[in-house]
Amino acid sequence: MSQRSLTAIPVRLIRASARKVAPLGSPLARTFIIMGIGLVAIGLLWPWLGRLPEDIVIDRGHFKFYFPLTSGLLVSLLVSLILSWFRH
């Protein structure tokens, strides 16, 4: 049997496997959390988007034209606010 210490092997394995994980305060983690919250919010608001006043719908026989004017303005406003919040 060798004179080598048996406790040295587990310590090396622990040190090798104990890698640093990004904390929740890191910019990448915060970005993913905010994107997830945004996707949940969009999913909850989805039934109302597209049926707002001033959304243009023309339905004539076999032809249907749909232009979501208010929905587009609302989504644009929300995206602009979120991006301006990230810049500051």
Query: Which residues, 6 or more positions from 58, have their beta carbon under 8 angstroms from its beta carbon?
Result: 64, 65, 66
pTM score above 0.85 = no
Q: Distance between CA atoms of 3 and 57, rounded to whole angstroms?
A: 84
CA 82 to chain centre: 12
Q: Distance between CA atoms of 81 and 85, rounded to whole angstroms?
A: 6
* pLDDT in 10s for each residue of the chain, 88 residues: 555 555 555 555 555 555 565 566 678 888 888 888 888 887 887 777 767 888 888 999 999 998 888 888 988 898 898 888 877 7
Closest to 75 in 3D by CA, of 56, 44, 49, 54: 49
